[in-house]
Amino acid sequence: MKTQFAESTATEDTKGPEMKIQLFRILYNEDSTRGALFVDGKFFGYTLEDVVRPAGVKVPGKTAIQAGKYGVIVNVSNRFGREMALLIGVPNFEGVRVHGGNTAEDSEGCILLAKNAIAANKIQGTLGKEFTAAVKAAILRGETATIEIFETKAGF
């Protein structure tokens, strides 16, 4: 079963049913980027990522991925030892996952997801497992999953 999820990827040319995940980045500061995540048009939770930097600038472990559209699969994380959502095709990044965490220190390029935004640099009440379960259920229904990340701030 695990390989079924790992082999299911979404591309721009995907036909058929699709789980559409949207992340709107809404709050930027020198330590992190906060946003809101929607699944099929419904609010799912708050996100926290590393700092959004200009194109071509990457500080290892402290830089958010580029805005854009990516495939999402579920597979077992070697680091965490459990099934987790994984973004596919992210330029200059590997192993970008959606998981729980509270501050950008928990991220290393991943997208943290939680129920509550309690400060500009902090979220709380992990939704990582719930998100993974939702993506896995969509894949089992025969859907592909994609995430599209939007910047709500013009320029840097």
State how far the Cα of 13 lies from the Cα of 32, in Å rounded to an integer: 32
The pLDDT tens digits for 79-117 are: 899 999 999 999 999 999 999 999 999 998 999 999 999
Average pLDDT, whole number, for the chain?
Answer: 89
- pLDDT bracket for residue 154 (50, 70, 90): very low
State how far the Cα of 53 lies from the Cα of 28, in Å rounded to an integer: 10
Cα angle 38, 39, 42 (rounded to 5 degrees) comes to 65
Q: Is the pLDDT of residue 65 over 60?
A: yes
pLDDT given for residue 15 in this prediction: 65
Average pLDDT over residues 44-71: 94
- pLDDT bracket for residue 12 (50, 70, 90): very low
pLDDT given for residue 16 in this prediction: 76
Structural domain boundaries of the chain? 2-151
pLDDT given for residue 64 in this prediction: 96
Q: Is the pLDDT of residue 61 over 80?
A: yes
102, 124 in Cβ contact below 8 A? yes
The pLDDT tens digits for 122-136 are: 999 999 999 999 999
**Global pTM?**
0.87
With the C-alpha atoms ordered 134, 115, 67, 89, is the resulting torsion angle positive or negative? negative
State how far the Cα of 59 lies from the Cα of 31, in Å rounded to an integer: 12
More confident call, 14 vs 49: 49
